[in-house]
């Protein structure tokens, strides 16, 4: 699996802790798009590369982290074919994959501690999409994307 991770200054510390956890997981190629410090940056700039890569299919899944996770969620979900889920607990992480096939996990660096974040990431990576009735709903979302953008 090819996984990309990115954050703003509010998520930098948690990103570094998650990277340590991900280094111990086999069969995951992790690309770190920054930021590389606590210096203030604009979260849209750091959500862009991960969101574009996942939307284009050059990256399998992504993790985005800002202070609350809200800003990164808003930016990521502007991209076609992105289903970014802000998860603050293990249950929502599992359900975001099981029912929604979320391809970007969003975390709040000032909301979730490193221990819980590690469990959220682990659960999110290990949970497979259930398909079935849930695929029909994702198809409806894809159709809405086309309607909103004026595509046929």
Length of the chain: 152
- The rounded radius of gyration (Å) of the Cα atoms in the chain is 15
Residue 50 Cα to chain centre, angstroms: 8
Instruction: Report the distance separating Cα 7 and Cα 10, nearest Å.
Output: 8
- C-alpha distances out from residue 71 to 11, 24, 134, 140, Å: 11, 29, 26, 25
Residue 100: predicted pLDDT: 96
**Catalytic residue flag (residue 9):** no
Q: What's the CATH code of the domain at 33? A: 3.40.1400.10
Instruction: Report the distance separating Cα 127 and Cα 17, nearest Å.
Output: 21
- Give SS3 for 14: helix
Residue 152: predicted pLDDT: 67
Residue-number span of the structural domain to which 45 is assigned: 2-149
Q: What is the pLDDT of residues 32-82, one digit of tens each?
A: 999 999 999 999 999 999 999 999 999 999 999 999 999 999 999 999 999
Q: What is the pLDDT of residues 47-61, one digit of tens each?
A: 999 999 999 999 999
Residue 122: predicted pLDDT: 95
Domain count, the chain: 1
Q: Of 7, 9, 66, 87, which is the active-site residue?
A: 66
**Catalytic residue flag (residue 66):** yes
pTM: 0.93
Nearest to 124 by CA among 74, 79, 70, 65: 65
């Amino acid at each position: 699996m090819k996984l990309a991770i990115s954050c703003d200054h509010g998520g930098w510390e948690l990103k570094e802790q998650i990277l340590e956890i991900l280094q111990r997981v086999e069969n995951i190629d992790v690309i770190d798009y920054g930021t590389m410090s606590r210096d203030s940056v604009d979260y849209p700039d750091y959500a862009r590369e991960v969101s574009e890569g996942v939307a284009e299919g050059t990256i399998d899944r992504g993790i985005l982290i800002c202070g609350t996770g809200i800003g990164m969620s808003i930016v990521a979900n502007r991209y076609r074919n992105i289903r970014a889920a802000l998860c603050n607990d293990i249950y929502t992480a599992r359900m975001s994959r099981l029912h929604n096939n979320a391809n970007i996990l969003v975390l709040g660096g000032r909301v979730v501690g490193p221990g819980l974040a590690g469990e959220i990431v682990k659960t999110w990576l290990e949970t497979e999409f259930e398909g079935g009735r849930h695929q029909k709903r994702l198809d409806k979302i894809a159709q809405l994307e086309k309607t909103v953008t004026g595509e046929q």
